[in-house]
Each structure stands twice: as structure tokens, then as C-alpha cells.
Amino acid sequence: MFSREPRAPIEVHVFGLPNFLVIEAGETMMIRENRSVWIDSANIADDPGPFCMSFAFDLGVLADSIKKIGLLNPPYVIGKKQGQGFEVVSGYRRVLAVKALGWEKVLCKDISNSVTSPLEYLVFNLYDNLATRTFNDVEKGMILCRLDPLVPRKEILEEYMPLLGLPSHEPTLEVYLRVPDLALEIKEAFARGQLSFQSVRALEDMDSLSQSQVFKWISELKFNFNQQRQFLEILVDLALKDGISVFEFLAKEELSRYLEDPIENRPQTAKRTLQALHELRYPRLTRAERIFREKVANLNLPEGAILKAPAYFEAPGYCLEVRFRDGKSLKRKMEALLNIKQLANLDDAWVEKE
Amino acid sequence: MDIKIERMLVQKEAKDYPMASRIRERGGGIPVVFEHSEMGSEREWKETLPEVGKQTLELISFKGEFLKPCPGTKEYICCGYQILNIGTNCPLDCSYCILQAYFIENYMRIFVNLEAKLNVIAHIIDTQEENIFRIGTGEFTDSLALDPLTGWSEVLVSFISKRKNAVLEFKTKTDQIRGLLNTPTREGIIISWSLNSPSIAAREERGAPSLRKRLEAARQCQQEGFVVGLHFDPLIEHPSWRKEYVKTLELLDKYLDPRRIIWVSLGSFRFMPSLKPIVRKRHPRTCIFDGEFVIGLDGKMRYFKPIRMEMYGFMREKLEQWYKDLGLYLCMESDEVWKKSMGWSPGTSKGLSEYLDKRVLQFFGAPGD
């Protein structure tokens, strides 16, 4: 392990930060007096503090790197107001890593005298991170949440959201602003890309019990994004219709058995669960689909002939698809079709014949 | 019905129109909180006003076309209506209102340059004598809710009465008929009420007068010689919906003379998918999404077809028990649904237009009569 000696104070020029600081030289921000100082690790706050934008990171990789080649980029800190210890502005993960490695002192840049407002600290950290990595969705929520009290909404929408790779769309902003309030396990899944944005939006509108129960279902059955969407949409509709919470709805015996007592493998259980919900939400449509399937099965169509209904039976009529090898086989199949007497009775799918 | 308007925003280009002066005069104490220019108007006042809503009225000079055909869709049969744009949004707050998805903000806008544009509309109508123009103002706003302020009825009744080939339908859920009753003519004027079951009216049509009040107003209009229309749109499947709709039909019998009803439309609840999250947020206790909705051929969500047919068939049967010749028609439905629930079909949008034009001729006579 090797460490670096403090270097002479340097002047840092940061370009292209229109919202950043008052500026002494046109659009160039000068950070002066960013003193390099050795600070006792114990004097640096352990908590993420108000400027942190890191979530669900792997400290091990960073710690290994520091162990091998040292701390290349010092964390930026400011003195706490009460004069006791330091708060991390940028480099929270590095601080955690060196603490984990047992370093007693850390070489930091103290920017207490050069940057003075919470917004400036926040933007400093944002651009410092942006230059080196992409943010996960929870981190984006943390950043927007921290900017929200300090920056006009319009500016967040027009400048910061595109910077984070998000659309300038107020409802999207609202979803991200509520992300930090979600339970840790949900945030971790969102950060890892296991939960879709739409799922998170739906979860945010639920009470905490429902949130955790839904999350349990999604994670145990490993629903993909499309399945998550179906699951949540139907679930919310059914719970609202019954006037109960999603938590209460999922506790119903007819559903809970899928999770508590699965008789099939996970993908099959996931499929069965969605089917059960679909039947509860769309009883008449499901019945019509069943009747149609039965009617078609009773026709005994020749091999290679498929009778299809339009989506949701909305458009009029049906579609017959016949696969054939050559003209002779087509003729045979057509003759077989013409001889199916029950074809004449094929009518509305939803009408069940006695 | 009380109109609660707390503030007015006035576009600079709009303030000198007579309608703007009339609204400000009749509005009495409503403060004008912002005068803005046409360009970037919203941006300007949004920065000043943290929250706008149904209590905010904006007066603007509308730059678009005032008279436009109802867009319809080729997948379903459309009635061939002409929409007269007089403003957007209204003081009522119906949970199912599609305008919630059309406009991000729900403040009301009045197009105060309407009178100045009437000559353009007159030219369109008068140069197509062979066509009957069925015009309505109730597409993007309630036709009468703001009439006491705007005086739309005074302006438009006089305008339509001079046209030989046009009728104007005021479509409303309110009882704001005083302005209309004070007009000197009934020629070419239809006053229509949007009706629903009593429980839907009470639960989902926030701010709207009760069904009784609406029908009392309709009766008064009939007694004063106006032709009346009715719209059961949206029909909503809800607990005991048959009994509930029958209650409304019983009220019709009590209040109205069916012989003076030009048409009754039926339309089931349909919505753009984007409306649902908005309504869930604005009206969390709504029951309008409880039914079985599927994606229609026009991309809108609508009830599964047999449910629609059942509702239409039921309404048709009950309405025809009341009176045989009500001019029943379906709004945005397929030929198949028409045939299976109404027993006949106009076949195409043109066919439905012709059917409704005949109703116009039956009630108002042929042009030049």
C-alpha cells in the first residue's frame, strides 16, 4: 500500500457549469483554497450526509482498488458548522472504503471556503459523479429530491432531468421524488433494474404493508417487467373495486395459495397467478375465451387449420388459417372443413349453447 | 348551481372583445389577477400563480378554427356532428371527463373572440346549403355552465336563427337556462341534457345539479317551446345498474314530453388509457373503472362487447316502452353492435348522419319552410 503526500493547493477549472457558481472569470468557475488536508477518518461523518448520491454500490471493488494503488482522487469535504468534524461533499464511497480498510487518516480536499451554499455543494458532487459514472434510478431519485427544495421545478425539469437521462416530464419527476421514501429492499431492486419504473410508480401509491407484500410476490415469482405491469394493474383494480387494500386482497386464500403452496415451478406459478387474477378481473371475457376454445376444439378442424378470434372479440368475424404442403393437401383440408357440420353453428363466442 | 370563480386571467389580445368586457362586468367581484400576452402566456403566469384550477377562468383570443367536424374514427359509426369551439373545461368535475387527459391544467378558458369569428362560421354554413349542419358547443366544455357570465346563448341563438341549414345543440348537465329562455327565438335550437343513473350522477358528476334539477330545467325548456335532446353517455356498468337507470327513465316520464325530444344518444364509457392514472389520482373513490374494459379498435378502452350490447339493448327496450319514436342512436359503435342491440344499423357514419338530419327536418322543417 502506498499513499500520497499532500500536494500543493491547485486551481481547478470546471467548464460548462452554467448553474454552478458565481463566477469570477466568465463561465469558468474557479475553486480556490481547496486545501489538501490530512483528516482523521474518525472525524469524517459516517452517514451519507446531505450531498450523497450513491446507493446500492459495491464497496469491495473500490476498497480492493484503493488497497492496491492507493487513493487517487481525494474526497471533497467541508467542515461541519459546529466545528466538529467534516461532512463529505463528494467521495462518500471512497471515505467508506478507506474506513473499511482501517485507514486512520485520509487525504481530503477541504472546500469549505471556496464553495459556500448547499446547492453548490450538491451540484459539485453531481458533476463530479457525472464525469465518471452513470447513476442508477434510486440515485437519480436522491439527486432530484435534494435539488427539489433548492432549485425551481422548471429548472429541474428542463436542465437536471435531461442531465440524468430522464424525460422533462413532471409526472416522471414526481415518481422519482418519492423513490427515497420507499423501503430499502424495493429501492435495491429498482437500483438493480429488477423493478420497472411503472412498478415503482404503482408501489408508491400503496400503503407500506401493501408495498412490501406486492414486492414479496414480484421478487418470489420473479415477474418480468411485462408480468409486473399486468400483476399490478389488475391487483390495484380488484382491490379498489372491493374497497380493500392490496395487502388485504393478496391475503385472500384463492390467491395466497399460489405463493404459499406452489405446486409447480416458479415460471408456471407466475403464469397461473396472472391467469387467476385475469379471471377475477375479466370474468366475462375469460368465460368467452373459454367458450370459444371449447367451440373450436369441438369442430375437430383438420391438421394445420387454426380458427382465430379477433383481439377481445372486438372486431367482427373470425380468421381461419390453413397451412398446407401443396395444392392437393389444401384441397383435402378444404373438403374436410366443408364437411364439418358444426361450422354452421359457429356464432358469437360469448354465447354458450345448451 | 353556484359558479365559484375566484380569479380571472386575461390575455392582453383578448381584453377588448365585447365578451371579455361582458364577463368582467357580470363577474363583478372576480379579481383579474394577471394580464398576459399571447406568447408564452402560460409560462408567464404559472410562475406567478402557484396553483390554478377549476376556480380560475382565462379569457383568450382563440387562434384556431372555431367550427370543426367531430373527429370520430373510421372503425366506429360517428354521428357527423360539427363542434363549435367556445372554450375548454367547465366548473363541473366529472370523474370520467376525458378533458382531464386532454389538458394538463383544469382551469377554464373562454374564447372571447367568438362573436368576431361568427362571420367566418356563417360563410361556411351558408355556402353549403345542401348540407344540414348539426352543431354543438358541448364537446370541450359544458354549453351552459358559464352562460350567465359569457352570454353564449344570446350570441349563438340569434346567430343560428338566421341560418337556414343549421341547428345548434346546447349540451349541459346544469340548470343554467335563464339566458336561453330570454332569447326571442326557438328556431334551430336544441337543448340537451346529459343524464346518468342517480347513483352515478351523485357519485361521479361532482358539482353538477341533481337529475331532478336537470329535468326540471328540461321541462321548463319544453314548456317554453324548445326542442330537447338527451344523452346517456357515458353509460356505466355499476352495481344494480339496470334498476338505477330505470330510476332515471321513470324521472323522464315524470318530467318530459317524449314527443318533443329530438334524439336520445347512448354511449358506453370509453377512455384513452392515459386517462386512468389521472382519474385514479383526482377521484380515488371512483367506480368508473370497475367494469371489464378491453382495447377498442380505435385504441380507446371500452367495455367488452357483450356488456355494451347488453346495456344498449336494455336502455333501448326501456326507452321504447316509454315512447317509440325517440330518435335513439349509438355514439361511436360498430355496425355489429348497432344491429345486435338496436335491431337495425345505419351501416356507416353517412347513414347515421342522414338519420339524424331527418330528425332535424322532422322537428324544424325543411330549409326555407
pLDDT band at residue A26 using 50, 70 and 90 as cut-offs: very low
A154 contact residues in B (CB cutoff 8 A): 47
Cβ distance B290 to A241 less than 8 Å, yes or no, reads yes
The vertex-B232 CA angle with B227 and B234, nearest 5°, equals 140
Residue A132 has a pLDDT of: 85
Q: How far apart are CA B28 and CA B43, in angstroms?
A: 27
B297 contact residues in A (CB cutoff 8 A): 314-315
Task: Report phi then psi at A306, rounded to 5.
Answer: -125, 130
A311 contact residues in B (CB cutoff 8 A): 294-295
* pLDDT one-digit tens code per residue, A192-235: 999 999 999 999 999 999 999 999 999 999 999 999 999 999 99
* pLDDT one-digit tens code per residue, B225-284: 999 999 999 999 999 999 999 999 999 999 999 999 999 999 999 999 999 999 998 999
Neighbours of B27 (CB within 10 A): 18
CB A114 within 8 A of CB A11: no
Which residues of A fall below an 8 Å CB-CB distance to B? 154, 205, 237, 240-241, 281-285, 288, 311-316, 348, 350
* pLDDT one-digit tens code per residue, B133-152: 999 998 899 999 999 999 99
pLDDT band at residue A110 using 50, 70 and 90 as cut-offs: confident
In A, minimum Cα distance to B337 occurs at A316
Higher pLDDT pick, B102 / A335? A335
For residue A119, pLDDT over 60 is answered with yes
pLDDT band at residue A50 using 50, 70 and 90 as cut-offs: confident
Q: Which of A46-60, A142-156, A244-258, B27-41 has the lowest mean pLDDT?
A: B27-41
ipTM above threshold 0.85? yes
Neighbours of A134 (CB within 10 A): 10
| Topology of the domain covering B65-87+117-364 | pyruvate-formate lyase- activating enzyme (3.80.30)
CB B153 within 8 A of CB B183: yes
Residue A1 has a pLDDT of: 32
Cβ distance B292 to A350 less than 8 Å, yes or no, reads no
Higher pLDDT pick, B121 / A120? B121
The CA–CA distances, whole Å, from A32 to A13, A69, A238, A240, B132 equal 10, 28, 60, 58, 78
In B, minimum Cα distance to A201 occurs at B277
Task: Report phi then psi at B110, rounded to 5.
Answer: -115, 130
In A, minimum Cα distance to B288 occurs at A241
Residue B255 has a pLDDT of: 98
Which residues lie closer than 8 Å to B359 by C-beta, 6 or more apart?
Answer: B262, B263, B327
Higher pLDDT pick, B164 / A113? B164
Looking at the DSSP bridge assignments, the partners of residue A49 are none
Rg (CA), chain B: 20
Which residues lie closer than 8 Å to A131 by C-beta, 6 or more apart?
Answer: none
In whole numbers, what is the pLDDT of chain B averaged over residues? 92
Average pLDDT over residues B277-305: 95
Residue B330 has a pLDDT of: 98
pLDDT band at residue B285 using 50, 70 and 90 as cut-offs: very high
CB pairs under 8 A between A and B: 44
pLDDT band at residue B323 using 50, 70 and 90 as cut-offs: very high
Which residues lie closer than 8 Å to B127 by C-beta, 6 or more apart?
Answer: none
Q: Using the structure block, give the residue that is written with the C-alpha cell 344491429.
A: B339
A158 contact residues in B (CB cutoff 8 A): none
**Mutation to test the A interface, candidates B292, B307, B310, B337, most A Cβ within 10 Å:** B292
For residue B318, pLDDT over 70 is answered with yes
- CA distance to partner chain B, nearest, from residue A185 (Å): 25
Q: Which of A1-5, A42-46, A174-178, A186-190 has the lowest mean pLDDT?
A: A1-5
Q: Where are the domains of chain A?
A: 12-133, 134-181, 189-281, 300-345
Nearest to B225 by CA among B268, B263, B180: B180
B334: contact with A, CB 8 A cutoff: yes
Of residues A205, A311, A350, nearest to B306 (C-beta): A350
If 0-12 CB within 10 Å is exposed, 13-18 middle and 19+ buried, where does residue B10 land? buried
For residue B310, pLDDT over 80 is answered with yes
B40: contact with A, CB 8 A cutoff: no
- CA distance to partner chain A, nearest, from residue B18 (Å): 36
Q: How far apart are CA A299 and CA A277, in angstroms?
A: 30
For residue A28, pLDDT over 50 is answered with no
Cβ distance B304 to A315 less than 8 Å, yes or no, reads no
B294: contact with A, CB 8 A cutoff: yes
Average pLDDT over residues B314-336: 97
Q: What is the DSSP string of A120-142?
A: HHHHHHHHHHHTT----HHHHHH
**Mutation to test the A interface, candidates B305, B332, B333, most A Cβ within 10 Å:** B305
Cβ distance B304 to A285 less than 8 Å, yes or no, reads yes
Beta strands in B199-279 (DSSP E): 205-206, 227-235, 261-268, 270-271
**Amino acid identity for residue B91 in this structure:** P
Looking at the DSSP bridge assignments, the partners of residue B129 are none
pLDDT band at residue A3 using 50, 70 and 90 as cut-offs: very low
Of residues B47, B294, B336, nearest to A285 (C-beta): B294
Nearest to B35 by CA among B13, B19, B54, B53: B13
B296 contact residues in A (CB cutoff 8 A): 314
Cβ distance A316 to B336 less than 8 Å, yes or no, reads yes
**Amino acid identity for residue B52 in this structure:** V
* pLDDT one-digit tens code per residue, A79-97: 887 767 888 998 999 999 9
Residue A31 has a pLDDT of: 46
Q: How far apart are CA A55 and CA A47, in angstroms?
A: 12
Average pLDDT over residues A174-200: 96
**Mutation to test the A interface, candidates B271, B289, B304, most A Cβ within 10 Å:** B304
For residue B127, pLDDT over 90 is answered with yes
Cβ distance A237 to B289 less than 8 Å, yes or no, reads yes
For residue B23, pLDDT over 80 is answered with yes
- CA distance to partner chain A, nearest, from residue B49 (Å): 14
Residue B50 has a pLDDT of: 52
Higher pLDDT pick, B120 / A77? B120
B292 contact residues in A (CB cutoff 8 A): 281-285
Length of chain B: 369
The CA–CA distances, whole Å, from A351 to A244, A292, A317, B335 equal 33, 9, 14, 19
Beta strands in A274-326 (DSSP E): 305-308, 319-322
| Topology of the domain covering A12-133 | 3.90.1530
Cβ distance A316 to B334 less than 8 Å, yes or no, reads yes
Which residues lie closer than 8 Å to B130 by C-beta, 6 or more apart?
Answer: B165
Cβ distance B306 to A348 less than 8 Å, yes or no, reads yes
Average pLDDT over residues A301-317: 95
Cβ distance A313 to B304 less than 8 Å, yes or no, reads yes
Q: Which three cell numbers stand for residue A321?
A: 388459417
For residue B104, pLDDT over 80 is answered with no
